[in-house]
Every structure is written in structure tokens, then in C-alpha cells.
Structure 1
Amino acid sequence: MESPHGAAVAADGFGLKGPRGWAFRGVGIEAAPGSLVAIEGPSGSGRTCLLLALTGRMRPSEGRAEVGGLELPRRMAAVRRISALGPVPGVSDLDPALTVAEHLRERALLQRRFDGSLRALLRPRAERAAKARGRVDRALEMAGLDMATLPKQERTAVRDLERLEELRLSVALALIGRPRLLAVDDMDLKLSDADRAEAWALLRTVAGGGTTVLAVCSQAPQDATVVRTTPAQAGDGPGAAGAPAEKSSPMPGTTRAATADGSAEVADAAAGTPGAAAVAQAQAGDAGEPAEATHAAEAMPRGDHKDTTEEGAADALAETGRA
């Protein structure tokens, strides 16, 4: 399988406002293809909203951004096609009752259903199956997930995986679609120091293979391009500025100042329900792309939504990997 070419990420004055105020505002990013970009900040500082906005899952309110040369918010559907979500709580959760093999098989089927050309669908079944196995094997290798080390090998249920193993599985599922941009939320949550180092090594491997990586974290490594978000401050105005972003290594890309002036992150609002919070803050995406269903159900195409609607926001956030 060819190494995917990463998507450059650029933003200036990028912001998203919901009913509770600004989730983030004034964000500036310049990251080259294949960069490892860490979105660093405390919980509630707009990190997840920024991650979802940069992958075309939430509609920004102001500023400009481009992902792989595709302008946001005008080309949100196109950005969703070239990006993939790893673990994002409340958006792309794994089913704890399914096994590792079932998750992989389901994602391969979805990929073939929604991303296959007519020519590919007309190829012999054995050839298509071999290609799908090759994609899965390559994704597992990139994610560093060795099923032989799991308690029941490929028959291990997600509920029995360690936190780092679950992260590797989520990344592998996202990589099956060969995205140009990979987004990972809360990547260092509930990890020991040793596991955190392994998790960052995993994301460096993905970035080194050519895929741009956006990772939300509480503490960024020194070799990442860093975008910092800060909690809302009373009286913050349009020109408010947050802590300057830093880049302390030769990784490609540079980052300018970033701030988050809002009060709510996806996981923190609307009666504790992540989906409800996302609906409250998101605005609908653009032209209708089929969103992936969580368990191999065929997704219905979305219409062209220009206004803020619960239906459009829920559709934009219902994806498990790539739309």
C-alpha cells in the first residue's frame, strides 16, 4: 500500500462559537504535510471542538482555515473525505462488546462500500478480499498492534483491551482508509508515563509515514508542533490572545498564537452528553456525504444544510472514521 501524502493544515483567526460562548477563538496554525501537531490545553478549553472543526465535523464561526488546500467551512465534506478520526469520545467510540477482528472486518467492509470505485467493485472477489486484507495488515503494522499478544488474539473483546491497546486499535481502524489527516482526541488520558511515551511514538510513526496527525493532549512532547488552548476568561473580547504556541523541534510546520475563549468542550456540556454538546455547538456541514455508521449500517446521504440545525450537526458528528 502506498504511503498517503499528508495534508497541510493552515488557520488564521479561526474560531467557533456556540450558545454558551466561544469554544475557541483566534487560533493560528501553519503545519506542513506529515506534521505531528499537538493541541495542548486543559479540559474545557475547546481542544475537541478545534479538532473536529479542522477535520470538517464542526462548522467554524469566524476566521479562515485550509486542510490539504481545501477551504473551511466551504469544503467541509471534502475535508471529511481526506481525514479520519481515531478515538474521539462520544463521536467515534469503539463498541466494547465487539472483538478486535469484528471491528477490523466491519471497517474494511465499510471502506469497500463507501470508498470503492465501480472498477474496483467489478474485480474478482478474491482479488478484492486480498486487497482488503493488505489494507488491514498495513494499518495494524503502522499502529503497532500485534494481535498475537492480546489475551484472546483477534477474538479479544474491546472491553478487555488495555488503554494503549485500545488506542492502537482505533488508530489502525482509521488508517484502513488511508487518510491524509488523522485526528486523535485525549491521546494521553489515563496512560502511565511509559504508555504515554509509546503512544507518542505511535503517532510519530504515522506522521513519519506521510500522514498529518492532530492530537489533543494535556502535555505535548517537545518535538511536536504545538497549538495551545486556554479556558475562557471573563471579559475576553474579539482581540483576546492566548499563550503563544511553540515549536521546539525540526518537525515540519510552524504555529502561531492560539487561544480558546469559549466555555464548553464537546465532552463538557449539555447535561453531560457528548453528542448533545456537539449538537448545541456545531453547525451543519455542506454537501451530503455518506457518514459511516458505527456498526456497518449503511448511512443515508445528507442534504445541503446552511443553517444551524440539530439534524445537520448530528450527521456531521456521526462518523466513525472518514465520511
Structure 2
Amino acid sequence: MDGVSVTAQGLGLKGPRGWVFRGVALDAGPGALIAVEGPSGSGRTCLLLTLTGRMKATEGTATVGEARLPKQSAAVRRIGAVANVAGVTDLEPALTVGEHLRERALLQSRFGDSLRDLLRPRAERGARARQRVDDALTAAGLDLESLPKGARTAVRDLERIEALRLSVALALIAKPRLLAVDDVDLKLSGPEQAEVRTLLTSIAAAGTTVLAVCAEAMAGAVVVRTTGPQTTEAAAETTEATQATEAAEGTEAADRKGDGDALAATGRA
């Protein structure tokens, strides 16, 4: 999948208690590895969500591919995917790895594929879905055979790095042109952080533009640093306010996901 360019000029987001981030400038080409670097509470996650069309900037401009933000946020959401974002892409602890993968593949085939794909024979659609999952697992470096119970392993039994890889795999099922991953080095050991850096570098090298939030940028990445002046409490309040705006604008998408969840649940029953 070909990546997209990501640019920003004077990008800022203001919340009830002040600026979450401000003056962000970025110029990254297709297939770039972009590192959003900064301390916790500095607005890193909010910047990630803004650049993926899930939050509205207060000032400045940004483009993702040919789409301009914030006016074409829906277009950006169609070509981008997010992973490992608390409160947005949380995994269900009681479900197994296989159930998460099947559900995401079902949602993708139902709402993400073209009408032409939906009209293909059922056997062909099933084979394409399985291939899509296999490709995503390979790209995310998640070997189901290495898990305690294989695909039947519950999420609650995964190591943190395994859960991160699963979240990335779920995002890659949609074959996004922009992959955004939050907190890529949170609570990971030194060797595990090195594994994740290698993983994200390989995904970018394969052509997908990668946007990663981290405490310390990876070598060779296009670096954006956030130094938001607000406290973590203020950042949380701002996040709630901007997510409320997103929810109001994304009703149609939410309805579709709800339908998909119900459909997936029926498939598991």
C-alpha cells in the first residue's frame, strides 16, 4: 500500500485551559516514519488524532495526501488507521486474539470494501479476508503459534508488546496509507522498544506512512516535538471536549461500527 505525504504549518489545538499544542510544523513524504516526541501530557496523542482526522485543530493547516484538514477529515479517516490509542482502540480483555481478528475482518469487508468486492462469491470473499488477516499479522510481526493458546489466547493473557502488535495488526487489516500508533514505547523494556522501532521502520519501508507517538524518536524518523504547557489533567479535559466534537460529526461512522459489532457478535454466537 502506497503511503501519503503529511504536512502541517502552524497547527495548534486549544482547550478550555489553554493550548494543548501549538505551532506544529511538519513536512514528510509518502512512506515516511514520523515520530511525535515529547513527555507524557504534552499533547502528543491529541496531535496524532488531529493528523488522522479525529480531532479538529484550532489554528493552522495540515494536509494528508491530497486531503486538507480539518475540512476533509472524513477523507483522511478513510485512508488512515490508528492503533494502541487508549479510549479509542482499546482491546476487549475477554475476547480472544482470533475473535478480534475475525471481527475486524468482518467490519472491513462489510463497511470498508468496495461494492464490487461485496458482490464477489462468498468463498472468494472469505479467502480474501483470511489473506488480509495473514498479511496484517505478518506485517505486525505477530506469530499466533507463539501465543500460549494460539488464536484462542485471550487478550488479558497477552504480554504488552503482543497486545501492541495485535493492535497494529488490526489497524493494518484496512490496508491504510497512514498508520498512526500511540505510546509505542510505554512500559516496554529496552529490547522490546528496539523490537517496536524495527517493526515500525519495516512498515514504513514497505510503503505505508507511519506516525508514531514516543518518548524518544527513532533513528531516521521525521521528528515533531510537542511541549504542551498544560498539565495531564488539562490534557484529559481537552481530549474529552474534542472527542465530543468528533462524536457529533462522526455519527454515521459510529452507527456503522455499531451495526458491525452486532453482526460480528452474531457470528461469534
TM-score between the two structures when normalised by the length of structure 2: 0.91
Aligned counterpart, 2:139: 142
Q: Secondary structure at the match of 1:293?
A: helix
C-alpha spacing 1:31/1:195, structure 2 compared with 1 (3 Å): same
User: How far does the alpha carbon of each residue in 1:176-227 deviate from its partner, in whole angstroms, 9 at most, with x for none?
Assistant: 0000000111110000000000001110111011110111011112221111
**CA separation of 1:55/1:225 partners in 2, compared to 1, >3 Å: closer, same or farther?**
same
* Aligned equivalents of 2:128, 2:234: Cα separation in 1: 37
CA distance in 1, matches of 2:157, 2:258: 20
Amino acid at match of 2:67: L
Find the aligned partners of 1:79 and 1:219 in 2 and give their Cα distance: 26
**Map of 1:290 onto structure 2:** 253
The letter for the 2-side match of 1:116 is: D
8 Å CA contact 2:3, 2:178 repeated in 1: yes
* Counterparts in 2 of 1:41 and 1:169: CA distance versus 1, 3 Å: same
Structure 2 equivalent of residue 241 of structure 1: none
- Indicate the residue corresponding to 2:241 in structure 1: 280
* 1:198 aligned residue: 195
User: What is the RMSD computed on CA atoms of the aligned residues?
Assistant: 2.0
Counterpart position of 2:184: 187
CA distance in 1, matches of 2:71, 2:56: 9
Structure 1: state its 5+ residue gaps: 233-262, 271-276, 300-323
How far does the alpha carbon of each residue in 1:69-117 deviate from its partner, in whole angstroms, 9 at most, with x for none? Answer: 2000000011000000111011111111110000000000000111122
Deviation at 1:120, TM superposition (A): 1.5
TM-score by length of 1: 0.76
Q: Is the 8 A contact 1:11 1:65 kept in 2?
A: yes
Whether 1:217 and 2:178 are equivalent positions in the alignment is no
- Contact 2:17–2:234, Cα closer than 8 Å, also in 1: no
Please tell me whether the aligned partners of residues 23 and 264 of structure 1 are also in contact (alpha carbons under 8 angstroms). Answer: no
CA contact (8 A) 2:20 2:235 kept: no
Give the C-alpha shift of residue 123 in structure 1: 1.3
1:75 paired residue number: 72
* SS, match of residue 85 in structure 2: coil
Cα distance in 1 between the residues matched to 2:151 and 2:217: 32
What's 2:62 paired with? Answer: 65
Question: Aligned partners of 1:67 and 1:298: how far apart in 2?
Answer: 32
In structure 1, how many angstroms separate the alpha carbons of the residues matched to 2:196 and 2:123? 35
Checking the alignment, whether the CA contact within 8 Å between 1:94 and 1:170 is kept in structure 2 is: yes
CA distance in 2, matches of 1:221, 1:295: 39
Alignment map for 1:298-313 (pairs within 5 Å) = none
Aligned partners of 2:162, 2:205: CA distance in 1, in Å?
20
SS of the equivalent of 1:16 reads strand
Does the 8 Å contact 2:95/2:155 carry over to 1? yes
Relative to structure 1, the CA distance from residue 176 to residue 184 in structure 2 (aligned partners, 3 Å threshold; closer, same or farther) is same
Q: Tell whether 2:233 aligns with 1:269.
A: no
Asked if the contact 2:43–2:235 (Cα under 8 Å) also holds between the matched residues in 1, the reply is no
**AA paired with 2:71?**
R
Post-superposition shift, 1:136?
Answer: 0.3
Aligned to 2:204: 207
In 2, Cα distance between equivalents of 1:294 and 1:223: 40
What aligned pairs does 1:91-130 form with structure 2 within 5 A after superposition? 91-130=88-127
Shift of residue 295, structure 1, vs aligned partner: 9.3
Q: Is residue 19–residue 281 contact of structure 1 (8 Å, CA) maintained in 2?
A: no
SS where residue 269 of structure 1 aligns?
helix
Give the C-alpha shift of residue 293 in structure 1.
3.4
CA contact (8 A) 2:35 2:223 kept: yes
| SS of equivalent to 1:44 | coil
Give, in angstroms, the shift of residue 21 of structure 1: 1.0
What residue in structure 2 maps to residue 246 of structure 1?
none
Could you report, residue by residue, the CA deviation over 1:26-72 in whole angstroms, capped at 9, with x for unpaired residues?
Answer: 00000001011010000111101000000000000100100012000
Q: How many residues align?
A: 260
